[in-house]
Chain A
């Protein structure tokens, strides 16, 4: 089927037996909500659609729905995500397996509707699992997988599925879709609520709001319990890589498609001296350049990161430890520091006895194209620097005018 990235997500949600969708339209996410509201209006889904007045309310409605045991979905971008931030922390702390598509877009000011990863980095510490799609097919696949990951008993955390604004959201691609029944079976039907033991009930009760078995979530928790609850969230993140891997394999058996081990996907890294690390649609461009330069015999490789939170430290070390120089390709900045992705990779590699040199390339801010020639020039430059052994400065821009 020929769809753009937003439509692919809308179809994935339609097939995922979602009980509640609450959303507010914002470019470039709009098509998801538009398309989904068509499904609702045409009676193609039984989903309760809540057209809210702001993103703060969209996430709040999802929190309420998920706390009542519903499977809930929303989608947003940029400023919309910024407006949601307060509730993002509540969703993850209340262990609500909400799935949200984040159609990545630059943050204001100046106002810009095009792609970069500033919004994704904004929610970095909110306790959400963050996955990134490289193309429209992966956006579809990941959206369905996200429900399974989020609702896994070992996880119970919300998942953000990131897809690059316009590059994926508005670009048509031919993709494979599964029949509805296959998706239903993959997800095990509607959401099943896990159970909880609290000492005022004799038996385990469903972890959901229910007047017959009243529970209340997220009440006052001062210095006596807040810390313990935060540690629970941190510990829950530890089981995520295993679940993501399992879901990736299960998907492979079902469709013949998988994305590396689900966490990261290395390309030509075994003997590579220069290795690029990136996330999202830019990885496609980088891969084509790496492929071309490999034909010339240049030892260059690429690691596509699919999971940014939890950050896969062990896996990153394993795949990068033999490189001589690692270029962290980043669609975001942190004024006053290096890019967020760079800091993670840097931290991962610190414990190695002999570390690769690291450089941080900021590219594509506000939707600027990552043209293959630019990547090629960058890689050739890195090989020249490798001869000299000096890599300065560490923070570089790709495609900015002097």
Chain B
């Protein structure tokens, strides 16, 4: 959200004027999930449970898309082998 439109150029009526994927909501996060691939069994439960679809399959592994991850910790909680730890963002 670097270049922000002024009221004259914004489409009226509160119409969503960008794709929702352009709205990077990951900056709300205080804790971020970090996956330990030595432990990960690729069971995909974290992918299934992430409410933000922020865990994606890159062809080989589950990876976190930090642009949208809110840091809720559900993935860490659901991981059966405790491969995900929540670490402070800053």
Contacts and interface: CB of A to CB of B under 8 A. Distances in A.
B18 to A, nearest CB: 7
Contacts of A93: 13-14
A232 B10 contact: yes
Interface stretch (B1-9, B32-40, B72-80): B1-9
A221 interface: yes
Nearest to B23: A220
Interface of B: 1, 4-7, 10-19
B12 to A, nearest CB: 5
A232 B19 contact: no
A253 B14 CA distance: 37
A229 B18 contact: no
A217 B11 CA distance: 11
Interface of A: 93-96, 156, 196-200, 207, 215-219, 221, 224-225, 227-229, 231-232, 235-236
Given A225-B4, A229-B7, A231-B7, A156 B19 contact: no
A303 to B, nearest CB: 33
Contacts, number: 58
A218 B16 CA distance: 7
A331 B16 CA distance: 41
A199 B18 contact: yes
B14 A200 contact: no
Contacts of A221: 14
A228 B5 CA distance: 9
A95 B11 contact: no
B4 A217 contact: no
A35 B10 CA distance: 42
A319 B14 CA distance: 37
Contacts of A196: 11-13, 15
A198 B11 contact: yes
A207 B7 contact: no
A225 B14 CA distance: 9
Contacts of B10: 225, 228-229, 232
Contacts of B15: 196, 198, 207, 215-217
A233 to B, nearest CB: 9
A402 to B, nearest CB: 51
Q: Mostly helix, strand, loop or mixed at chain B's interface?
A: loop
Contacts of A199: 17-18
B1 A217 contact: no
B14 A218 contact: yes
A207 B5 contact: no
B13 A95 contact: yes
Given A229-B10, A229-B14, 16 more contacts: A94-B13, A95-B13, A198-B17, A207-B13, A215-B15, A216-B15, A216-B16, A217-B14, A218-B14, A219-B14, A221-B14, A227-B7, A228-B6, A228-B7, A231-B7, A236-B12
A219 B12 CA distance: 12
Most buried by A among B4, B10, B12, B19: B12
A224 B1 contact: yes
Contacts of A228: 5-7, 10
A232 B10 CA distance: 9
Cβ-closest 9 pairs across A and B: A228-B7, A95-B13, A218-B14, A231-B7, A216-B16, A198-B17, A196-B11, A219-B16, A232-B7
A292 B27 CA distance: 71
Given A229-B7, A232-B7, A94 B14 contact: yes
Contacts of B6: 228
A189 to B, nearest CB: 22
Contacts of B12: 95, 156, 196, 207, 232, 236
Of listed B10, B13, B17, B18, residue having the most chain A CB within 10 A: B13
The interface centre, meaning the residue of B12, B14, B18 with most chain A CB atoms within 10 A of its CB, is B14
Contacts of B13: 93-96, 156, 196, 207, 217-218
B36 to A, nearest CB: 34
A132 B51 CA distance: 50
A215 B19 CA distance: 10
Nearest to B17: A198
17 contacts: A94-B14, A156-B12, A196-B13, A196-B15, A197-B11, A207-B12, A207-B15, A217-B16, A219-B16, A221-B14, A224-B1, A225-B4, A227-B7, A229-B7, A229-B10, A232-B12, A236-B12
